[in-house]
Structures are given as C-alpha cells and as structure tokens.
Amino acid sequence: MLLDKLKSYSIVLASQSPRRKELLSGLGIDFTIHENTTEEVLPQHLTPCQTVEYLAKNKVDSIAPQYDLQKTIIIGGDTVVCRGNNIMGKPSDKRHAIEMLQQLSGEKHIVISGLCVLHKKRYLCNHDQTTVYFNPLTDEEIMYYIDFYHPFDKAGAYGIQEWIGYQAIERIEGSFYNVVGLPTHLLWKMLKEITDDD
C-alpha cells in the first residue's frame, strides 16, 4: 500500500495553508511543513490552469535546495478562483472582499488547484478543477460572513468549509477538497506515480 511505501521518504509540504495541512493529514501521510516565503506573482501570459501549476512548482523550487531529494518528496499547491478566464485572487481589504462576493452571488465559477510533486530530479505537475454554483447573497449575508470569518487569505474571498459554504453554495461539480485547497485524490495518484520507480 502507498502509505507503507511513503514511510521510507521524508515528505515535505511547501505551504503555510492550514487547510492543505489538514487535508494532507487526512490522507494518513506523515509529513513536515516548510513554509515558503516566495511572493505569489501571477504570470500574465499563462492560462489559469497553467498559473496554478506554475505557482505550485515555484513553491517547491523555493525550498528544494535545502533537501536531499533522493530521500525527500516535496509537495506544493496553489488554488485560484476564476470567473471565465479571469483569476480573482485574494481580497486586498474588506471592500475588495465585498466586491468579490457580490460578483460570485447567484453565479457559477471555477476553482482550480495546481499541484507539484518533486522527488530526485523528477517533477510531476497537474491540476484539478471544480465548478461551484452560488445562491444569490444579500448584502447583509455578505457583511456577516466577512465580519465574522475574515476571508482575506482565501482565493475568491470565501472558504467552502465555512458558514458561506453551508448557506450559499447550491452545488458543486467536481472534488469538494479541491475547492478547500488540495485535490487529495489527484495528489494520491501523483505520489503513486512518482514512487513507482523506487
């Protein structure tokens, strides 16, 4: 089983996201966290799918020189919220968060998460996407959510696992965990693939 095989590696998560930490723990994998300090700069010439893979790889590359990659597997991830081909990013302040949620209200959008896994000199990069359908939100509901949950560190100004997910999300098409920030089913496949030759 993969879990037994992974015990012979040092698994490192290049992320400061508490949600990714929680989801990786849910897979039963022992790992350490190395918070990367790279600034998330969104390249202009890439599609949203290419962007999340680029950012995930950037996180991996920022810490890779500090590890023996013969014995280590490094995991990086990034998530964006898109309306059409426009990446919404994270809100810069309260007003920006209000504008984002007003745009999402009563509409559908796409959440894309990119993954990068590095072992030895081999990179695996991939992504997953989920379509999210929002019910209409009143201004009062938007203000309540922002005031009580402060979603300023979240792409699209919301977390599906919080109050707004219970109340406002009509349905999703795709992986729930992808929207939270880590497509666990995809990561499992990538870990199998990258350890196959060992």
Would you name the residues annotated as active-site residues? 78
84 within 8 A of 108, measured Cβ to Cβ:
no
Return the DSSP state at 9. Answer: S
Q: Is 157 left (phi over 0), alpha (psi -120 to 50) or beta?
A: left
156 within 8 A of 100, measured Cβ to Cβ:
yes
131 within 8 A of 108, measured Cβ to Cβ:
yes
Interatomic CA distance for residues 146 and 149, integer angstroms: 5
Q: Which two tokens stand for residue 109?
A: 């959008």
114 within 8 A of 135, measured Cβ to Cβ:
no
18 within 8 A of 9, measured Cβ to Cβ:
no
